[in-house]
Amino acid sequence: MTTDNPHDGDDLIDLDAAVDHVRTLRTELLPALETERVSLDELAGRTLAEPIHAPVDVPAHSHATMDGFAFDATDEYPLAVVDDPVCPEDEPPALESGTAIRIATGAPLPPSANAVLKREEATVDDGQLTGTAIEPGTYVYQRGSNVSEGEKLFDAGERLGAKDALLLGDLGIDDVAVRERISVGLLATGTEIHEGRHRDLDSPMLAGLVRSWGHEATYEGSVPDENDRVESRIDELARKHDVVVTTGGTSVGDKDYVIRTLDALGDVLFHRVRLRPGKPIGVARLPDHDAVAVAVPGKPVGAYLVTALVARPFFTGDASLPTVSARMAHDVGIGTAGFTYAIPVTLEDGTATGLGHVDSPLPIYEETFDPSVLSSSTRASRADGFVLTTNGVAADEPVDVVPATALER
């Protein structure tokens, strides 16, 4: 029996529009998540709950960046060298006009000093210093030149990385307020998977993506292609998790119940994106559950690509796609205009070879890219990256390759 589907495949949207939708969902979801404080060694991948302003100037004192002599560079040589050199652990002494003091790299400058003459350019004769003429600021890491007190450094909603511990630690901050990790329930649909006739390839991959983006993923099993059971299980998981990610059942066939279920439970924001492979993805807001649903197609490589390209900005807040430059090894044509094509490639010595082209270890197409077969070909997961294009690509043409690693962080 055919069940009417309000999302019958005529409502495709561009990839950029899909990303805009999920970033809006992220903005709506974040304030609803609880906050917790984490130490600097635990902040990588976490999302800030509140902005951070610098509590102090950094550095708090001007420091020498060379071993040498500190003095006021507006004074003229010769300068009298005072006793007791300044080391990094010292409190610098007052320095009178016309005098200089030995100073070590990292040591704080005396208040009246504004430059350092490096040791190799200095001559001391009978306690008198002469040397190269220098300007104020020479070899000085000046107070507040790194960060000024009160300066806004991080925005609420920003996703932190390991490197951010450097600046925060330099500010004297030991922990930060972050949003709790998003809780994600993974549900596989399909009678063939539920009955064990086909292996569920997608769920472990999706769990890995979610975790690489800094959130919690729980495998919640499978359901057969039965409308009431699909709806009941999604309804249950949406009450338990912030996000439900399903696989399979996203097309427009008689037994593709997922999009119909999401339409019944909430508001389907879009169904099907102009992306090949991976086109039949759906994203819905489930307001009665305070949850979001992402319905991913079942073909494994398509599932990976569309999740990485569409859902990643929801989980990370980052829609940027870093690229490396290469030249295409061969012609790759496209079959249908109006889509973004994600062509898996291997990279070697600046050359990108389509993994799927007849000249690759996975011979699927010769002249025209075949997203349908390739979407199911798990060997394509060995690609080093993906060329995103709306047009065919000619042999030796420069291309921008999105590294696969960039999609998983």
Domain covering 37-55+151-179 assigned CATH 3.40.30.10 in the classification: no
Give the C-alpha distances (Å, rounded to integers) separating 186 from 199, 200, 240, 276. Answer: 15, 11, 12, 23
Gyration radius (Cα) of the chain, Å: 30
Domain(s) labelled CATH 3.90.105.10 in the chain stretch across 37-55+151-179
pLDDT at 2: 38
Distance, in Å, from the CA atom of 281 to the CA atom of 19, rounded to the nearest integer, reads 12
Quick one: which of 230, 277, 236 has its CA closest to 386?
A: 277
Distance, in Å, from the CA atom of 204 to the CA atom of 152, rounded to the nearest integer, reads 39
DSSP 67: S
Q: Strand 128-131's sheet: what is its strand order? A: 115-118, 68-71, 99-103, 79-86, 128-131, 122-125
Fold of 15-33+180-316: Molybdenum Cofactor Biosythetic Enzyme; Chain A (3.40.980)
Q: Which two tokens stand for residue 201?
A: 């390839």
Domain(s) labelled CATH 2.170.190.11 in the chain stretch across 63-141
**Structure pTM?**
0.85
At the fourth CATH level, which superfamily is domain 324-406?
MoeA, C-terminal, domain IV (2.40.340.10)
Domain(s) labelled CATH 3.40.980.10 in the chain stretch across 15-33+180-316
Cβ atoms of 330 and 395 closer than 8 Å: yes
pLDDT at 66: 96
pLDDT digits (tens, 9 = 90+) for 172-221: 999 999 999 999 999 999 999 999 999 999 999 999 999 999 999 999 99
Domain(s) labelled CATH 2.40.340.10 in the chain stretch across 324-406
pLDDT at 256: 78
pLDDT at 254: 65
Q: How does pLDDT run along the chain (409 residues), one tens digit per residue?
A: 334 555 554 579 999 999 999 999 999 999 999 999 999 999 999 999 999 999 999 888 999 999 999 999 999 999 999 988 999 999 999 999 999 999 999 999 999 999 999 999 999 999 999 999 999 999 999 998 889 999 999 999 999 999 999 999 999 999 999 999 999 999 999 999 999 999 999 999 999 999 999 999 999 999 999 999 999 999 999 999 999 999 998 876 666 799 999 999 999 999 999 999 999 999 999 999 999 999 999 999 999 999 999 999 999 999 999 999 999 999 999 999 999 999 999 999 999 999 999 999 999 999 999 999 999 999 999 999 999 999 999 999 999 999 999 999 9
Distance of CA 400 to the CA centre of its chain: 18
pLDDT at 315: 97
Q: Which two tokens stand for residue 126?
A: 């009978």
Residues paired with residue 118 on neighbouring β-strands, in sequence order: 68
At the fourth CATH level, which superfamily is domain 63-141?
Molybdopterin biosynthesis moea protein, domain 3. (2.170.190.11)
pLDDT at 298: 92
pLDDT digits (tens, 9 = 90+) for 264-275: 999 999 999 999
Q: Helix (H, G, I), strand (E, B), or coil: what is residue 46?
A: coil
Give the C-alpha distances (Å, rounded to integers) separating 356 from 42, 91, 202, 219, 395. Answer: 40, 67, 20, 31, 15
pLDDT at 9: 46
Q: Which two tokens stand for residue 297?
A: 């197609």
Taking the CA atoms of residue 47, residue 49, residue 55 and residue 57 in that order, the dihedral angle to the nearest 10 degrees is 30
Give 327: exposed, middle or buried? Use CB within 10 Å, 0-12, 13-18, 19+.
middle
Tell me the percentage of the chain whose pLDDT exceeds 70: 97
pLDDT at 10: 56
Distance of CA 401 to the CA centre of its chain: 17
pLDDT at 250: 85
Residue 44 neighbours by CB distance under 10 Å: 16
